[in-house]
Homo-oligomer: A and B are copies of this chain.
Amino acid sequence: MTPDDFQLSTFLPYRLAVLTERVSRRLAVEYGRTHGLAVAEWRVLVHLLRCGAVSIRDIHTCVSLEKPRVSRAVTRLEAEGLVAKTAGSGDGRLVSISLTTAGRRALADIIPEATRLERQLTDAVSPDELAIFYRVMERMHAVLDSDPEAKPRTPMDLERLEA
């Protein structure tokens, strides 16, 4: 391929970026409209649903968000009463974050909508195609895993493979 043939609209990173942004924004309509959440806040809430009382660091390493971003997301969520921050009982540096009843309620509202959107997208292809789609994504991750210039995957995204 000579440089002159290079085309943005068929370039894999660009195509990924365009689809992701579109999906992401469409999803944000759901959790933004109903509860005024941003993506970081949404991720934190979902993580808490799974993992109970955890630290900022734990969220950071699990949901692909920078530490300050998690910290600020938690601050906002606390202000809105969706999570509770408690000083960790053991290690004095840690902050224990957990869902409140209101937080659980918010998730109960949003998750069905999120799942519905996901199903809309996945129902457009056959199960076989979808399986291949995910396999391809995984292979691309694997390429990056062995690339020293690439950022490592979060432990949780890796862990899923072993299950």
Q: Which residues of A contact B (CB under 8 A)?
A: 1, 3-4, 6-27, 29, 43, 46-47, 49-50, 62-64, 107-108, 111-112, 114-115, 117-118, 120-122, 124-125, 129-130, 132-137, 139-144, 147, 149-151, 153-154, 156-157, 159-160
Contact = CB atoms under 8 A, between A and B. Distances in A.
B22 A151 contact: yes
Copies in the complex: 2
A108 to B, nearest CB: 5
Given A7-B50, A125-B135, A120 B141 contact: no
B22 A19 contact: no
A132 B141 CA distance: 17
A105 to B, nearest CB: 10
Given A132-B133, A136-B133, A121 B12 contact: yes
Please name the 6 residue pairs, one residue from A and one from B, whose CB atoms are nearest each other, closest first: A20-B20, A124-B139, A133-B136, A3-B111, A16-B20, A26-B150
Contacts of A6: 46, 49-50, 107, 111, 114-115
Nearest to A64: B18
Contacts of A111: 3, 6
